[in-house]
A and B are shown apart, each in its own frame.
Chain A
Amino acid sequence: DIQMTQSPSSLSASVGDRVTITCRASQNIKNYLNWYQLKKGEAPKVLISGATNLQSGVPFRFSGSGSGTDFTLTISGLQPEDFATYYCQQSYTIPVTFGGGTKVEIK
Chain B
Amino acid sequence: QLQLQESGPGPVRPSETLSLTCTASGGSISSNSYFWGWIRQSPGLGLEWIGSIYYSGSARYNPSLRSRVTISIDTSNNQFSLNLNSVTAADTAVYFCVRSPGGLIAAHFDYWGRGALVTVSS
Q: Is the CB of B105 within 8 A of A94?
A: yes
**A63 CB within 8 Å of chain B:** no
Q: Which among A43, A92, A99, A100 is the interface contact of B113 at CB below 8 angstroms?
A: A43
Q: Is the CB of B106 within 8 A of A96?
A: yes
Q: Is the CB of B106 within 8 A of A91?
A: yes
Type the 1/0 row for B37-61, where 1 means its CB is closer than 8 Å to any CB of A: 0000100001111000000000010
Q: Which residues of B contact A87 (CB under 8 A)?
A: 46-47
Nearest CB of B to A76, in Å: 22
Q: A34-B108, A49-B108 are in contact. Are A95 and B63 (CB under 8 A)?
A: yes
Could you say which interface size class chain B belongs to?
20 to 34
Nearest CB of A to B122, in Å: 27
Chain A residues close to B by CB (< 8 Å):
32, 34, 36, 38, 41-46, 49-50, 55, 87, 89, 91-101
15 more A-B residue pairs beyond the given contacts A95-B62, A98-B48, with a C-beta to C-beta distance below 8 A: A34-B108, A36-B109, A38-B41, A41-B114, A44-B109, A50-B108, A55-B110, A87-B46, A91-B104, A91-B106, A91-B107, A95-B49, A98-B46, A101-B46, A101-B47
